[in-house]
Structure 1
């Protein structure tokens, strides 16, 4: 039974609900570096060591100028990595308020996954500089040219990066762990004294809790009581996510004209994405199953009332309902991916993994250009232009928000979105709590090597073009026999598995996982995971088209105008896209046909998330209709029961992530 927080905190502190230690997770993550991208995923998502600027998420955004008393806004500039004092300048990373922490959190993983010496050197310098300048009280910063009070939140992403550094290189623990414990001691005192708090800290407290739990699980150093007490204080002084996610309080549409009964920032899109982790994190020290129930309910409410066919939800800056023209922030995309992975690890419900995979293969690439040198602040389901918008459909964000550029609207997404692909890769393999079994969670081309319980050294290699193929071939070598598990997504129909030379058999997953018996030595098996075209009902009688993990959209032909080019890095450009052909179509859903045009070379093009490049597509019979625009820059709501304004035509729908201008929610008609 749910216990209101005003009651449950007193029970926690009195020990009525609290139990010793932390509740175990359903699944355990592997350390950074244990899982590597392979095949198209390595080529497309991450750079080769010879091409450090393959995408903006790998680019050397070397100088992230942070707030000072004279310059309250931070900005991003490119300078030479050879600059000897690139990290130590008064207005660069050292304040740890947001940009530096975000950059570090994402780039640690990027450097490790491709074993890139330059990126790893940069992140090592960052780590060393911050830890070497920890002051005698334990505060990490340092504080440079600012009289701003000490607020806790800006350090949380740095903690995630520092944890990843230790995972990838355990020798770093001797420096990182004492510094973290020293900071925790200070933070504990600050929380008890009512300091270190402002609205962002109060809503993002769960990130610090997860850091504390990592210390408790792996490096407690006799500080268990302080760690648990700090977790409780963070929850007690933070926003009450168990109430925010209660059905009676949860907003069922756009919130710009609603009054939030809690901190207004709880309805902020990125805060909501991070807040999804709050209750599973709380459960670990309350042992209260109601926290998990409310977390699951909140997840469902969020996507019911604000969800997108691309897997993500709308918030432009705050929750925005279901209309296809409303926006979704890129920071929100990567934070939801990370939260969904954590939710699965704690709760074990496959719905979290299914959605994270949809977000990753649809919403994430859709908001970046194919070469990943330009990104949007906000993406739209129906996006007929990417330009300075007039009128502006986003009530809380600027009209430049859907331009593809270096830092349109706010620059936070430029430095935060690098965590997206790497953390998806890292969380694609897990182990069971007893560490006797390996679990392949997210499907795609990966390889991993780890040691399970009883010294069982195991490696697994997945050869596939998924999500642009239905077939995955997995080769496992193991020192001892064990049970391997692989997730079977909910959209699979009539899937089969063939182990070794045995004939293919029907799948029989339990709670989304297919058990595969693995013998000592080498075991090879082939999964075939076909799926049907499915339709999702959307507002105004429109529909969205899916097959497997991919959402499909009409890729509107476009021209491109360079609005501005960065003076230090000429690949960093702001791009305006305008439609060059009609997009006002209704489709006959009975005509949809899936087409697979596999690459003759056996390898996908790089990049694959760009116009006309994926091997999967869906054809549809369509007709032109009267569909109005607002001003000249965005589509009005899809018309209901439209009449055809011309003869029938055939159009092609492409994977959503490869489209930059698109219609993803269609009116319908019947050919007859």
Structure 2
């Protein structure tokens, strides 16, 4: 079905009464404005590490976002189509959460410059007064940043909202005329729909019909994510030699896939079609994109993605395109940060989305950056025995990426992740608390050291402080202060085994969560409760990997063997000496099989009560798992990466005990092991 047919049939359905409801379906949970949630404890330190690292300084020297020459329309502003837009989206919340006056001043100046240069047609971006083609998608991250600016600074509301409405009117005309779209715009339309829905929910300005029409135009002229996430069409392995049956090759691109996960929840809000039952009754596959705009398909697609491409670190594999389950295939840093957030949970309400995002934040995100956050990878691997410039004459495990892809540096392989990666921690923090639609109850979505201060319905002023080392501890102490009694909900992850809660010093009681949420009756005044959330070591279905190998998990953390390494500086930025490209090579054996029956959890809490800074580096987390292992023959494929884990390997040396540590603290690692039975 071509795009024009798709849109015409969609329009007919919308006018014939099949989708006769109007307006947007309310979300099940609502976000709090930027500035009302903050990190505390070790997580506050982690954000400080990011702010003091590459993220907080790249505007000073990095040529894609350097502010040294943007007043004249060069450099920083001229990259609004991607780099500047990404930077702004990340730095707005980073600056507010870290209370950085420098970053706050920079983002404020950037917003002022962009809005003041909006042309008379409504266009935003460096194409103003040029002959450059005008494509829509590069503005979307900028708009997310602008929305967050309004949340943190309500006095900016009229300026930002008026500019966005002016742009929407232009975009609507362009879409009706078949303009403003190229391949990337056609797959990344969910982000624009989220912006449109923010306007509809909070600042419609009497333009509800135009906003809804623009949403429908985007959906019916864009990639059919309903087809992409269907069981019939979803790729069940690495896509290297596959033809994309939807006709949209870029839907299998990893970052686009991460953004496409939001498509069905976003469109459900205006189609009101949850089950997609009509498409199954008709039984015509090409009509999926017309009828299956539903929550069922969103849930199924999520499960398919992680079943066939998922990683024990929480994320999925795509070294450009979906890459299957092999442990040496790569995961791009951009897709890690794009997947973090709670939008699917806000619309659908299934806690499985929160469980996985928490895994991603505490494992996959820190694993792909150096501990000081000055160098980052383009691609991370589950089994990563070297991070170096690969021999161009040897095999490369990444068929669509170059030999520099897993080096830790300023811009290895592609520069996008340099400017985009800083949104990860801020997005995780700002989605850690939500409210119910009536705004009478507060929901803690993610577990960790957070605090919030907000006003619920009926002017109920509430503050919450969570004191914890989680995920490096099983215990969380939460103190709630409220003007009026209300119900507080805290998410209990699916991996908790035998968890308890003690309220106001009372006896510990077994948890009784409903759909993943434990209700706590908070009284007027102060309520304090302690959660104990133990977990078992698992190597079960979630952790079962190809070739009979296993991965080790306990609670939210994935554990890996941290390969001792040396470090070589490959390059150093001329303007910023801390921005270096680093090559890591193993200095000890990594070829081990493990006996899963001998896994033993070790907790060595810090004597000072505080975690080291930065926490995500070798030998710094207080948790580990010991296991009996033996050396085996395990080949190297090419010159710098491990072959698939051997099945039923024979020991070639004496058994020994090795230590597994949290995956996020490792930079060279084995995360998927062959197994043997010890004697």
Which residue is equivalent to 1:36?
Answer: 38
The question of 1:367 aligning with 2:374 is answered no
Measure the CA separation in 1 of the matches of 2:403 and 2:552: 29
| Kept in 2: contact 1:46–1:58 (CA 8 A) | no
Which residue is equivalent to 1:72?
Answer: none
Which residue is equivalent to 2:573?
Answer: 566
The question of 1:168 aligning with 2:152 is answered yes
| Kept in 2: contact 1:557–1:581 (CA 8 A) | yes
| Kept in 2: contact 1:330–1:417 (CA 8 A) | yes
Measure the CA separation in 2 of the matches of 1:368 and 1:420: 12
Measure the CA separation in 2 of the matches of 1:568 and 1:135: 35
Which residue is equivalent to 2:283?
Answer: none
Q: 1:60 Cα shift?
A: 3.5
The question of 1:474 aligning with 2:501 is answered no
| Kept in 2: contact 1:498–1:505 (CA 8 A) | yes
Q: 1:146 Cα shift?
A: 5.6
Which ranges of structure 1 fall in alignment gaps of 5 or more residues?
A: 66-74
Measure the CA separation in 1 of the matches of 2:103 and 2:363: 27
Measure the CA separation in 2 of the matches of 1:453 and 1:420: 30
Measure the CA separation in 1 of the matches of 2:117 and 2:582: 40
Which residue is equivalent to 1:276?
Answer: 261
Aligned partner of residue 202 in structure 1, secondary structure: helix
Please give the residue correspondences for 1:374-523 in structure 2 after superposition, counting only pairs within 5 Å: 374-390=375-391, 391-523=395-527
Q: 1:145 Cα shift?
A: 8.6
TM-score by length of 1: 0.95
The question of 1:285 aligning with 2:270 is answered yes
Q: Is the deviation greater in 93-102 or in 254-263? A: 93-102
Measure the CA separation in 1 of the matches of 2:46 and 2:79: 33
Q: 1:630 Cα shift?
A: 1.2
Measure the CA separation in 1 of the matches of 2:11 and 2:34: 35
Which residue is equivalent to 2:671?
Answer: 664
Q: 1:171 Cα shift?
A: 0.6
Q: 1:631 Cα shift?
A: 2.5
TM-score by length of 2: 0.94
Measure the CA separation in 2 of the matches of 1:87 and 1:402: 35
| Kept in 1: contact 2:450–2:465 (CA 8 A) | yes
Measure the CA separation in 2 of the matches of 1:663 and 1:109: 34
Aligned match of 2:137 in 142, 153, 159? 153
Aligned partner of residue 628 in structure 2, secondary structure: strand
- The structure-2 alpha-carbon separation of the partners of 1:353 and 1:503, relative to structure 1 and needing over 3 Å to count, comes to same
Q: How many residues align?
A: 649
Which residue is equivalent to 2:346?
Answer: 345
Which residue is equivalent to 1:99?
Answer: 83
Measure the CA separation in 1 of the matches of 2:186 and 2:272: 22
Backbone CA RMSD of aligned residues = 1.4
Aligned partner of residue 543 in structure 1, secondary structure: coil
| Kept in 2: contact 1:385–1:661 (CA 8 A) | yes
Measure the CA separation in 2 of the matches of 1:593 and 1:146: 64
| Kept in 1: contact 2:65–2:75 (CA 8 A) | no
| Kept in 1: contact 2:47–2:98 (CA 8 A) | no
Which residue is equivalent to 1:70?
Answer: none
| Kept in 1: contact 2:65–2:79 (CA 8 A) | no
Measure the CA separation in 2 of the matches of 1:216 and 1:592: 52
Q: 1:87 Cα shift?
A: 4.6
Q: 1:45 Cα shift?
A: 2.6
Which residue is equivalent to 1:61?
Answer: 59
Q: 1:640 Cα shift?
A: 0.1
Q: 1:53 Cα shift?
A: 5.3
Which residue is equivalent to 2:306?
Answer: 303
Q: Is the deviation greater in 329-338 or in 318-327? A: 329-338
Which ranges of structure 2 fall in alignment gaps of 5 or more residues?
A: 1-5, 276-293
The C-alpha deviation readout for 1:405-451, integer Å capped at 9, x for no partner, is: 00000000010111100010000000001100000110000000000
Which residue is equivalent to 2:628?
Answer: 621
| Kept in 2: contact 1:64–1:93 (CA 8 A) | no
- The structure-2 alpha-carbon separation of the partners of 1:136 and 1:116, relative to structure 1 and needing over 3 Å to count, comes to same
Q: 1:63 Cα shift?
A: 6.0
Measure the CA separation in 2 of the matches of 1:468 and 1:278: 34
Aligned partner of residue 16 in structure 1, secondary structure: coil
Measure the CA separation in 2 of the matches of 1:32 and 1:130: 21
Measure the CA separation in 2 of the matches of 1:435 and 1:160: 23
The question of 1:229 aligning with 2:233 is answered no
- The structure-2 alpha-carbon separation of the partners of 1:88 and 1:604, relative to structure 1 and needing over 3 Å to count, comes to farther
Q: 1:89 Cα shift?
A: 3.8
Q: 1:88 Cα shift?
A: 3.9
Q: 1:219 Cα shift?
A: 0.4
| Kept in 2: contact 1:46–1:110 (CA 8 A) | no
Aligned match of 2:617 in 610, 613, 624? 610
Which residue is equivalent to 1:68?
Answer: none
Aligned partner of residue 56 in structure 2, secondary structure: coil
Aligned match of 1:123 in 107, 118, 121? 107
